[in-house]
Chain A
């Protein structure tokens, strides 16, 4: 499987990005301080954005950086800072129930095994890659053409969720 002569720069870039992304994702789950977890989450988002750039999907990569690494991670950091009332080093511990820990690990291991087997046994099509550099145009045409109903529904969902978030976070006024 590993033919050194076929090893290109593209592959090396993928391996580095994938390694950084997976290590950062492990940091999100395993670090005991939730602020470090949140910062590790930002690194994961940036790694995924780099994967998108490598897949010739620059628009999605930019959206990923703006929305995930910019907005969502700051929202999470704000919530973490607001809601910390115990010492920081104990904010992100795994569950104390050993049974739950083993069950979670077992379910994850089974799921991962099934996914790897499914990916390994499937015959993937070997297509000639055509790099399209007008994917933003195609995205706009698809979004405001065939998928315009979904586009409007997404807009309404965002509006409703923002109003709902403000109302829920504001709380009920005690008379």
Chain B
């Protein structure tokens, strides 16, 4: 009974939860966490499509691995940037990140 559409629906809901977090959160770390949720949703879609559409292929799983690599790089640089801004501004609130505004 459970098939590809159910996995895609799970991915869609997970992505939407992450999107809502990205759009409405004040804390920069919370925004990074929401982005991780969205990347995970994409991975679910890749792996599910790999299993149900391209059975004798592993391209979907390979793309999921590359997404994980890019996510790891992104979270490392993102957290480093937040730490660097926190050192100057003593805050992680996105509203206070207006260094480039004049």
Known: A72-B71, A119-B12, A127-B52. A11 touches B1 (CB 8 A): yes
Interface residue tally of chain A, by bracket?
A: 35 or more
**CB-CB < 8 A to A48: which residues of B?**
14, 40, 43-44
Is B99 positioned at the interface, with any CB of A under 8 Å from its CB?
no
Contacts of B12 in A (CB 8 A): 112, 115-116, 119
What residues on B are CB-neighbors of A95 within 8 Å?
Answer: 24-26, 95
**Known pairs A14-B2, A29-B21, A124-B3; A83 contacts B26 (CB<8 A):** no
CB-defined contacts of A120 to chain B, threshold 8 Å: 5
CB distance from B93 to the nearest CB of A (A): 9
Is the pair B13, A22 in contact by a Cβ cutoff of 8 Å? yes
A161's partner among B55, B61, B76 (CB-CB below 8 A) is B76
Q: Which 3 A-B pairs have the closest CB atoms?
A: A104-B23, A161-B73, A165-B80
B21 adjacent to A28 (CB under 8 Å): yes
A115 and B24 contacting across the interface, CB-CB below 8 Å = no
Complex contacts, A150 vs chain B, CB 8 Å? 66
Closest chain B CB from A54 CB (angstroms): 9
Q: Bound complex: CA of A129 vs CA of B66, how far in Å?
A: 25
Also in contact, A68 and B36, with CB within 8 A (given A112-B16, A124-B5, A165-B77): yes
List residues of A whose CB falls within 8 A of some B CB. 3, 6-8, 10-11, 14-15, 18, 21-22, 25-26, 28-29, 34, 37-38, 41, 44-45, 48, 51-52, 55-57, 59-60, 63-64, 67-68, 71-72, 75-76, 79-80, 82-83, 85, 91-96, 100-101, 103-105, 107-108, 111-112, 115-116, 119-120, 124-125, 127, 129-130, 132, 135, 138-139, 142-143, 147, 150, 154, 157-158, 160-162, 164-166, 168-169, 171
Contact call B33/A41, Cβ cutoff below 8 A: yes
Q: Are A108 and B68 in contact (CB under 8 A)?
A: no
Q: If A79-B82, A85-B90, A91-B27 touch, does A44 touch B37 (CB 8 Å cutoff)?
A: yes
CB distance from B20 to the nearest CB of A (A): 4
